[in-house]
Structure 1
Amino acid sequence: MDIALDSPTRTFIEVTEVWVPDGDRLVWSSGNYGALGEFAALSEQKSFAKGEGLPGKAWAEARPVVLKTFDGSYFKRIEAAKEAGLTSAVAVPIFAGETLKAVVVVICADDDARTGAIEVWHESNGFLMLDDGYYGAARHFEWVSQHTHFPRGQGLPGGVWAANAPMLMRDLGSGYRFIRADAAGKAGLTTGLGLPIAVPGDKTYVLTLLSARGTPIARRFELWNAHTSKIGNGAEAVLADGICAREGPLWDDENERRVGAWQGAIGQVLGSGIPVVKFDTATLTAGYDSMVALPIYRNGAITHVVAWYY
């Protein structure tokens, strides 16, 4: 199956971190910084008021925020990011109804080889339009995306919008369902993950993560359906879809995979209702260094848990 790298040497995303509300500020909850120890130590001591820094801006504006460059911006860790080689970031707020549960921030480095896409789409006049995105070296694909819009049900963003549920899409460069297939193929993009981002009010946002073979966003993707709307003890989820660079398809209707609250990382999300970043190899699926798991909310309840592994 034509998906992410079997043995990737570099990932498209360098840092992933989770910030959670504590009174009137956001504080660090979990994160993976790879070898960027100094940036990690600084970040873990930070906190952000509403509207302050990138996490605070996503909180205040109640929408995903793309920051393509740190120079001269409101980013609060500019010097440390420069020293670490980090250049751009995307912040995604996780709301349960009107309540902010967390802000997930992914931070990238820019070079001539790193290719992928993190896109934010918003509804306008009956179509999904590109709000903003970060594409690394995929300049032509970025241009195509800026000039593409999706009706409900069309392409990956439109499919997520219609279903109001996360979706995985394979073989982006050749799949007839992926509207930008030709440009995706030229950019080396292979696998797409689309997520509905619930925010207060009636605004529609879709986040898409498009992974390339050479610098993948992840080596393994999982979509779990939550079979109860409650958070905490009694919550459970079943694996509904998944793909892996080594194993291929992960979902098998004859061998159901089910987890309950507090069982592993997926269960931790079900139990707590907040995203988590794990990098303890002893507790992860064999062969992975870290993973991200986040809840997808609808009407204040968890409907899915989405995970990706590095």
Structure 2
Amino acid sequence: MDVAIDTPTKTFIQVAEIWVPEGETLVHGGGSYGDLAAFEQASRRESFARGQGLPGRAWEEARPVVLKGFDGSYFKRTEAAAEAGLTSAVAVPVFAGKTLKAVLVVLCGDDENRTGAIEVWKEQDRILVLDDGYYGAARHFEWVSQHTRFPAGQGLPGGVWASATPILMRDLGSGYRFIRADAAGKAGLTTGLGLPVPTPFGAAHVLTLLSARGTPIARRFEIWDARAAKVGKGGGAALVDGICAREGALWDPENAGQERRAEPWQGSIGKVLGSGLPVVESGKPGLAAGYGSMVALPIYQGPDLAHIVAWYV
């Protein structure tokens, strides 16, 4: 029996939505809006041409795009966002080879207590530099990040870049593997999820989601491996890492033979496997462990689905 979880009153990400291409237009493909009903209605009526609005800009530029203020920008839903208390957004394109599958957009509000980080790292001269990010109240951590560089294999962004796989990192404030541990500890950041963002051309990009205890990005993180070498020709995906605020570790490497698996079209992860598209679900009784909402994002290597990362609130 699923057990309800005491969801925090404030999460770092307030809205997650999917935009999918139909011809030369991006249309609404689902989302989680919490109690922001008016913003949800405005979003469902919207669509974006290539280069138009935030989703269209991520499509046109074929890279993740951070927008830390809406007034005077190309953001199309500025009035509705202001009424909902939303101030910043990040758009993440999902490419399979050169084909755009979807754009995931997450939106955040800004107040003195909301702490966390959504970062985009970009390859520049064979090193990763911060392209942009949203940090809420974690101002010092933002400054440290702006002045940090990562060679391949170093820290969370560098580890993702070198392996071309998503990585989940615990205990950011005390872990020696997390280069910015001191600043992360002072900001209250606890868990980091890093994932590669493949693009058809140009420099490599890495997205990092850093969660704080008071205003978490998620209460549960999962990484699924969908590569044929891992799961066999029959398809499906295997859980290769995960952590839950209540359950602890979700995967035990010593018992890999008893690993959790997902099959196409079975459950939320199965929907990603079957469709090849991101999935955002909210308020459905079938969600894992009674969570209120979840995001599952596919990661491709060339034209093939390689991994799925999921987070639950």
The alignment status of 1:108 with 2:111, answered yes or no, reads no
1:13 counterpart SS class: coil
1:54·1:74 contact (CA, 8 Å) conserved in 2? yes
Return 5+ residue gaps in structure 1 as ranges.
Answer: none
Offset at 1:42? 1.0
Q: Which amino acid aligns with 1:112?
A: E
Q: Which amino acid aligns with 2:272?
A: V
**Aligned counterparts of 1:244 and 1:172: Cα–Cα separation in 2:** 15
Give the ranges of 4+ consecutive aligned residues of structure 1 lying more than 6 Å apart after TM superposition: none
The residue that corresponds to 2:220 in the other structure is 220
The residue that corresponds to 1:290 in the other structure is 293
Identity value in percent: 70
The residue that corresponds to 2:124 in the other structure is 124
Offset at 1:80? 0.4
1:227·1:238 contact (CA, 8 Å) conserved in 2? no
2:227·2:305 contact (CA, 8 Å) conserved in 1? no
Map residues 62-141 of structure 1 onto 2, 5 A cutoff. 62-141=62-141
The residue that corresponds to 1:307 in the other structure is 310
2:91·2:103 contact (CA, 8 Å) conserved in 1? yes
Query: What is the CA deviation profile of residues 256-296 of structure 1, one whole-angstrom value per residue up to 9, with x for unaligned ones?
Result: 10111101110100110010101143110123001000101
1:150 counterpart SS class: coil
2:53·2:74 contact (CA, 8 Å) conserved in 1? yes
TM-score (norm 1): 0.95
1:15·1:33 contact (CA, 8 Å) conserved in 2? yes
The alignment status of 1:205 with 2:205, answered yes or no, reads yes
Offset at 1:9? 2.2
The alignment status of 1:174 with 2:152, answered yes or no, reads no
1:265 counterpart SS class: helix
Offset at 1:202? 4.3
The residue that corresponds to 2:147 in the other structure is 147
1:234·1:261 contact (CA, 8 Å) conserved in 2? no
2:70·2:78 contact (CA, 8 Å) conserved in 1? yes
Q: Which amino acid aligns with 1:216?
A: P
1:117 counterpart SS class: strand
Map residues 267-278 of structure 1 onto 2, 5 A cutoff. 267-278=270-281
1:149 counterpart SS class: coil
The residue that corresponds to 1:38 in the other structure is 38
Q: Which moved more, 1:273-282 or 1:134-143?
A: 273-282
**Aligned counterparts of 2:18 and 2:195: Cα–Cα separation in 1:** 17
Q: Which amino acid aligns with 1:249?
A: A
Q: Which amino acid aligns with 1:199?
A: T
The residue that corresponds to 2:14 in the other structure is 14
**Aligned counterparts of 1:52 and 1:236: Cα–Cα separation in 2:** 35
